[in-house]
Amino acid sequence: MKTIFKISIILVSIVLTSCGGVPEGKTDAASSDNAFSVEEVLEMVAAENDITRTLYTKAIVGKGKAQGMKFDEDWRKDDVEAGPLPALFLRGVATSIQKGPVPLGLYLGSDFPINAANKFVGKQADLFEEIKKDQEPKFFYDEEQKLHTAMFADLASAGACVTCHNDHKQTSKSDWKLGDVMGATTWQYPKDSLSYKETVAVLNSYAKGTVDIYVEYLNEIEAFENSEKPEIGEKWPAEGKYLPTAEVFLDSVKKLTSYKTMKHLVAAK
Ligand code: HEC
């Protein structure tokens, strides 16, 4: 089976090369003019995700709760007037990316999940065992899905992560501690190297995903009938019953992430 696959890759490559095109799934990054390896790009987008996720968890959910704002796993239901939990915010980002043209996959899993659908299986379960020990990112090529895959530790970075998971009625583990590796984000992309343009497209699709889910949250608030609506503008929940607009939220993410990402992008040019 594998040999047949390899032969067909070679044939496809020959056909494409002889037609003058560049084979899409080419494995030799050095011979193409692509600027980044898939590992570098997934590391960049994972770093942006870390900052976005922390900002949302701490500045919106954490501070928002202190102002009486609600966040719920059933936030989309008509009778629930609440915002998305951090994990569902991430799912929203993943769904938005999936709807767009960039072939980037994003998934949040664990070995002891609240939602059984988030349990790692196969190779990802094996690698997650290593991540729990060394907290280092893992990269591999998923032969079955034909996707380059990267996994990054998702840490219990706030007290709220621990208490909510430990106390959840569906939890499969109730002794999480601050700093534990609670799960990992898995990122996938079909090609082993990306051009400068493709890299920017990956970063933009992630940013668009955060705006899409955040706007969904603001629309949900708009439809509140029984709950107090926070004022949406320039201010953050730390200052009172306020929420930033999508632009203000994205602006903060950009300010926090852009330096690291830009260093990467500039270094490659
Ligand atoms: C208020 C409750 C709450 C808080 C706070 C919370 N989570 Fe979760 N988390 C959930 C729920 C509920 C799910 C399952 C969502 C779903 O249906 O996929 C989940 C899912 C996850 C998953 C996927 C595996 C699973 O358990 O299903 C990980 C990993 C995770 N959360 C880590 C974190 C981390 C890290 C933090 C803090 C930065 C955090 N969570 C904060 C409730 C919470």
The pLDDT value given to residue 227: 93
Q: Which long-range contacts (CB under 8 A, 24 or more apart) does 119-125 make?
A: 120/184, 124/149, 124/151, 124/184, 124/186
Give the start-to-end residue ranges of the domains of the chain. 37-268
Give the pLDDT band of residue 160 (cuts 50, 70, 90).
Answer: confident
51 CB near ligand 1 (under 6 Å): no
pLDDT above 90 for 129: yes
| Residue nearest (by alpha carbon) to ligand 1 atom 35 | 156
Question: In this predicted model, which residue has the larger pLDDT, 256 or 150?
Answer: 150
The pLDDT value given to residue 20: 36
Residue 4 C-alpha to ligand 1 middle, in angstroms?
A: 42
The pLDDT value given to residue 268: 59
Percent of the chain topping pLDDT 70: 85
| Residue nearest (by alpha carbon) to ligand 1 atom 23 | 109
What does the pLDDT average to over 37-43? 96
Q: Which of 1-5, 12-16, 110-114 has the highest mean pLDDT?
A: 110-114
213 CB near ligand 1 (under 6 Å): no
| Residue nearest (by alpha carbon) to ligand 1 atom 25 | 113
Residue 86 C-alpha to ligand 1 middle, in angstroms?
A: 7
Percent of the chain topping pLDDT 90: 75
Residue 189 C-alpha to ligand 1 middle, in angstroms?
A: 24
Reported as a single tens digit per residue, the pLDDT across 197-249 is 999 999 999 999 999 999 999 999 999 999 999 999 999 999 999 999 999 99
Query: How many other CB atoms are there within 10 angstroms of residue 3's CB atom?
Result: 7
Residue 87 C-alpha to ligand 1 middle, in angstroms?
A: 5
| Residue nearest (by alpha carbon) to ligand 1 atom 12 | 73
The pLDDT value given to residue 259: 64
Q: Are 257 and 48 in contact (CB under 8 A)?
A: yes
Give the pLDDT band of residue 32 (cuts 50, 70, 90).
Answer: low
108 CB near ligand 1 (under 6 Å): yes
Question: Six-digit token pair at 167?
Answer: 């106390």
Give the pLDDT band of residue 24 (cuts 50, 70, 90).
Answer: very low
pLDDT above 70 for 175: yes
Average pLDDT of the chain to the nearest whole number: 87
pLDDT above 80 for 7: no
Judged by average pLDDT, the poorest of 11-20, 63-72, 137-146 is 11-20
Give the pLDDT band of residue 264 (cuts 50, 70, 90).
Answer: confident
Substitution candidate for ligand 1 out of 182, 185, 186 with most atoms within 8 A of CB = 182
Q: Would you call 233 exposed, middle or buried from its count of C-beta atoms within 10 A (0-12, 13-18, 19+)?
A: exposed
Residue 53 C-alpha to ligand 1 middle, in angstroms?
A: 11
What does the pLDDT average to over 107-120? 96
pLDDT above 60 for 126: yes
Give the chain's end-to-end CA distance (angstroms, integer). Answer: 40
Q: Are 157 and 226 in contact (CB under 8 A)?
A: no
Which of ligand 1's atoms lies nearest the C-alpha of 184? 29
